[in-house]
């Protein structure tokens, strides 16, 4: 399975979690938005960016996510340069980090990641239990 399909699968897992919790969910048409999902409940809207989480540390007890934006890829002749750029409160409200295979999820408010290239945190921080 290629990277794009893996990402879409994680988005569907997050969409399902929100739907199970009573949220309505919309997916943007095209790739113009900075968010992957628009979720709302009781007229409160949340713009959600889904990111793949990786375990780090000797005991695999730290969660790592980066903020690589695939649509910001720059092709320069034979090489490709990727743009790591943090998100702002003008673009999203939450990052939901998902660990592939186990589908553990963490909900990080944009205020905790604003303009950062990556974030590392403990397994029990930011647990997605809304």
In tens, the pLDDT along 55-102 reads 998 899 999 999 877 554 445 555 566 666 778 899 999 999 999 989
Domain ranges in the chain are 3-122
Reduced to 3 states, what is the DSSP secondary structure of residue 95? strand
**Phi, psi (5° rounding) for residue 70?**
-60, -30
Q: Would you state the structure tokens that stand for residue 39, as one six-digit string? A: 């979720």
This prediction has a pTM of 0.86
Q: Report the C-alpha gap between 51 and 60 in whole angstroms.
A: 18
DSSP-derived secondary structure letter, 36? S
Tell me how far apart the terminal alpha carbons of the chain are, to the nearest angstrom: 30
Are residues 117 and 72 in contact, defined by beta-carbon separation less than 8 angstroms?
A: no
CA nearest to 21, candidates 37, 41, 36:
41
Q: What is the CATH class of 3-122?
A: alpha beta
Are residues 63 and 55 in contact, defined by beta-carbon separation less than 8 angstroms?
A: yes
Tell me what pLDDT residue 81 has. 62
Query: Average per-residue pLDDT in the chain?
Result: 88
């Amino acid at each position: 399975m290629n990277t794009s399909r893996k990402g879409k699968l994680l988005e569907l897992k997050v969409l399902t979690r929100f739907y199970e919790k009573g949220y309505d969910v919309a997916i943007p048409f095209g790739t113009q938005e900075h968010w992957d999902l628009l979720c709302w409940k009781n007229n409160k809207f949340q713009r959600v960016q889904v990111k793949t989480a990786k375990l780090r540390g000797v005991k695999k007890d730290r969660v790592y996510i980066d903020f690589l934006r695939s649509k910001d890829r720059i092709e320069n002749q034979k090489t490709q340069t990727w743009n790591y750029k943090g998100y702002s409160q003008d673009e999203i409200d939450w990052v939901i980090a998902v660990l592939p295979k186990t589908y553990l999820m963490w909900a990080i408010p944009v205020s905790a990641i604003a303009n950062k290239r990556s974030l590392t945190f403990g397994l029990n921080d930011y647990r997605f239990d809304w």
